[in-house]
């Protein structure tokens, strides 16, 4: 059974970003697990959708732009666009993981996490059992939409249920 200092579940922006921080902190044995691919949820965005926050320089603390998840990197410079699409942002995440040589394992479905009596956790996956001192849950909300979380939610459509905005009934939409 493989033993880790830290396992990160999810290889989207949060998971890849946390992986960069763990690497910067020289955390020894860690890995990022995802049942799909790096940035898979971003690839499911409607084709017309773009990042609301623009990628441009000017942030403090070594982050080159608002959509950056690692010091001294920039989706704007990497992609050559100010408002990346989901596919483009997933490309940035993949490029960053490659550049940083992050230990990402794709195609691994975490099915259960159990705390161990002596500390740490055991993770049941479709590839076997893993143990880790710490687990960081970075699987996003896109794949687990809550469609009943507020009054009037029955009149809404979660973004994960839209493949293309073109052809949707009506002319006006409110994005929150």
Q: What is the pLDDT of residues 37-75, one digit of tens each?
A: 999 999 998 888 888 877 776 655 655 677 888 877 888
Instruction: Determine the 3-state secondary structure of 9 from DSSP.
Output: strand
C-alpha angle 9-14-16 in degrees, rounded to nearest 5: 75
What is the greatest pairwise CA distance in the chain?
A: 58
Domains of the chain, earliest start first: 2-144 (3.50.50.60)
Residue 118 confidence (pLDDT) above 80: yes
Residue 80, sorted as left (phi over 0), alpha (psi -120 to 50) or beta, turns out to be left
Cβ-based neighbour number of residue 91 at 10 Å: 19
User: What pLDDT digit, counting tens, does each position of 131-170 carry?
Assistant: 999 999 999 777 777 778 888 888 777 777 777 777 777 7
Closest by CA position to 17, among listed 66, 56, 71: 71
Tell me the pTM. Answer: 0.86
Q: Which two tokens stand for residue 66?
A: 């608002």
Exposed e or buried b per residue across 108-128, where buried means at least 16 C-beta atoms within 10 angstroms of its C-beta? bebeebeeeeeebbebebeee
Q: Which residues are CB-contacts of 63 (< 8 A; sequence separation ≥ 6)?
A: 71
C-alpha angle 43-128-27 in degrees, rounded to nearest 5: 70
User: What pLDDT digit, counting tens, does each position of 16-41 carry?
Assistant: 999 999 999 999 899 999 999 999 99
């Amino acid at each position: 059974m493989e033993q880790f200092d830290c396992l990160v579940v999810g290889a989207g922006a949060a998971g890849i970003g946390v992986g960069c921080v763990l690497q910067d902190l020289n955390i020894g044995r860690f890995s990022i697990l995802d049942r799909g691919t790096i940035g898979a949820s971003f690839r499911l965005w409607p084709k017309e959708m773009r990042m609301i926050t623009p990628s441009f320089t000017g942030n403090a603390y070594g982050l080159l732009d608002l959509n950056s998840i690692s010091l001294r990197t920039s989706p704007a410079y990497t992609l050559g666009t100010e408002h990346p699409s989901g596919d483009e942002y997933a490309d940035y995440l993949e490029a960053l993981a490659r550049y940083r040589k992050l230990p990402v394992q794709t195609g691994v479905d975490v099915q259960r996490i159990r705390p161990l009596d002596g500390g740490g956790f055991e993770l049941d996956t479709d590839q076997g059992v893993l143990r880790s001192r710490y687990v960081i849950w970075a699987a996003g909300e896109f794949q687990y939409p809550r469609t009943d979380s507020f009054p009037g939610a029955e009149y809404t459509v979660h973004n994960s249920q839209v493949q293309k905005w073109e052809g949707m009934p009506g002319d006006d939409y409110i994005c929150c």
